Amino acid sequence: MRCLLCYLLCTMIFFSCDKKVENHVKIDMTITSDSNDEIIIDSKSNKYKKVLFEKTENHFVDTLKIFSGIYNLRKGKTKTKIYLENTYALEISLKGNNLDSIVYEGEGAKQNNYLLKSERLNNKFYQDTAIFNLDRQSFDNQLEKYEKELNKLINENQIKDTILIQENKRKIARLKRYFNVLYDKKEYVKTVLAKGAIAPAFENFENYNSGFNSLKDYKGKYVYIDIWATWCKPCLKEFPALKKIKKQFKNKNIEFVGISIDEPKHYNMWRMLIKKYKLEGDQLYIGTDTVFKRAYRINAIPRFLLIDPKGKIVSADAPRPSNLELKKILDQIVN
């Protein structure tokens, strides 16, 4: 009876220890760099963050207790994806001051070298701006080519891990969604918002000074519209250049109009910033209107519109005030 109890106890200890090991990942990392940036592994979805490297070390070994999954590996302002799974003993070499030179060895190296190639290939696709110049059929064919290349990579590297396979599917879905949205927007701009098309109207936007304004109020003049928001730092950076342009074209047949797309909770901030920056001319507030943003496909700001005296579009994506091209355009059409 005593022997049986001892046997059961030893068995429980063995499996307990084995389970403990399986819940950990061993990281062995060597760094050759003149940078003192921390090395961090984190994941929002897994609510995990661990600082691996602190300032002066160039080699360290650490054991992480994690859930299997894809994490961020960060060094300073650069980051890459890393796949960690229980029982991995991963060796990482890093030369230089960013993560471009990273090399994986040991258990888990195959998966992470694949992931590294996949991220690089994916990033390369996102940099392809020529795709938007293609006709619809050629555009669809190019997206299909991207998908095949990402799938080919996962097959060539013989990746069987469910998490990586699912991530590849999500990556392809995100890629297609991104390009389709932008392509449709550009096609919309080239047709509905093309030069010479009737500018979509807006009605009864609150004026900072008093009353309400609509697009039709500016008929007979050119209108340069600055679409901005209080939280948009690039928008605020354009204000000095915008003031300069306004001064240069004062008393000319052009109105400079600001339209804030701030949410109602930022209404008071909108009024405060107009006063702070001493913004002149009509400053309008969009309020809860959503039609204007949809009509002009306002997906990013700052954005500038130029409309002619007949209410037709000159440019639905006009140059910023800080762009010297804007003055050249205005000199040609206003003077």
Per-residue pLDDT at 8:
40
- Does the pLDDT of residue 5 top 50, yes or no? no
CB 92 within 8 A of CB 30: yes
Q: How many CA atoms lie within 13 A of 137 on its CB side?
A: 0
Per-residue pLDDT at 164:
96
Mean pLDDT of the 10-34 span: 58
Beta-carbon count within 10 A of 55 CB? 8
Mean pLDDT of the 174-195 span: 91
- Does the pLDDT of residue 155 top 90, yes or no? yes
> What share of the chain in percent tops pLDDT 90?
67
Distance, in Å, from the CA atom of 161 to the CA atom of 109, rounded to the nearest integer, reads 13
pLDDT digits (tens, 9 = 90+) for 34-45: 677 788 889 988
Radius of gyration of the chain (CA): 28
Band (23; pLDDT cuts 50, 70, 90):
low
> What share of the chain in percent tops pLDDT 70?
91
Domain 9-107 belongs in CATH node 2.115.10: no
- Does the pLDDT of residue 255 top 50, yes or no? yes
Tokens representing 334 are 């206003």
Distance, in Å, from the CA atom of 140 to the CA atom of 293, rounded to the nearest integer, reads 27
CATH class of residue range 205-333: alpha beta
Distance, in Å, from the CA atom of 51 to the CA atom of 57, rounded to the nearest integer, reads 12
pLDDT digits (tens, 9 = 90+) for 278-319: 999 999 999 889 999 999 999 889 999 999 999 999 999 999
> Any residues with CB less than 8 A from the CB of 186 and at least 6 apart, and which?
132
The reply to whether 9-107 and 205-333 are identical in fold is no
CB 39 within 8 A of CB 102: no
Beta-carbon count within 10 A of 11 CB? 10
Top pLDDT among 75 and 141 is at: 141
Identify which of 185, 220, 189, 217 has the alpha carbon closest to the alpha carbon of residue 202: 217
Per-residue pLDDT at 46:
76
Per-residue pLDDT at 239:
97
Distance, in Å, from the CA atom of 315 to the CA atom of 328, rounded to the nearest integer, reads 14
Distance, in Å, from the CA atom of 161 to the CA atom of 149, rounded to the nearest integer, reads 18
Per-residue pLDDT at 22:
52
Q: Of the segments 65-79, 184-198, 248-262, which one has the largest average pLDDT value?
A: 248-262
Q: Where are the domains of the chain?
A: 9-107, 108-191, 205-333
Per-residue pLDDT at 67:
87
> Any residues with CB less than 8 A from the CB of 199 and at least 6 apart, and which?
215, 305, 307, 311, 312, 313
CB 205 within 8 A of CB 212: yes
pLDDT digits (tens, 9 = 90+) for 67-115: 889 999 988 888 899 999 888 989 988 887 778 888 999 999 999 999 9
- Does the pLDDT of residue 15 top 50, yes or no? no
Distance, in Å, from the CA atom of 130 to the CA atom of 115, rounded to the nearest integer, reads 26
Band (21; pLDDT cuts 50, 70, 90):
very low
Mean pLDDT of the 240-258 span: 95
> Any residues with CB less than 8 A from the CB of 120 and at least 6 apart, and which?
none
Q: What is the mean pLDDT of the chain?
A: 88
Q: For 270-291, give one letter per residue: b (16+ CB within 10 A) or e.
A: beebbeeeebebbbbbbbeeee
Distance, in Å, from the CA atom of 92 to the CA atom of 109, rounded to the nearest integer, reads 9
Mean pLDDT of the 145-157 span: 96
- Does the pLDDT of residue 6 top 50, yes or no? no
Per-residue pLDDT at 56:
54
Mean pLDDT of the 215-231 span: 97
Mean pLDDT of the 8-13 span: 40
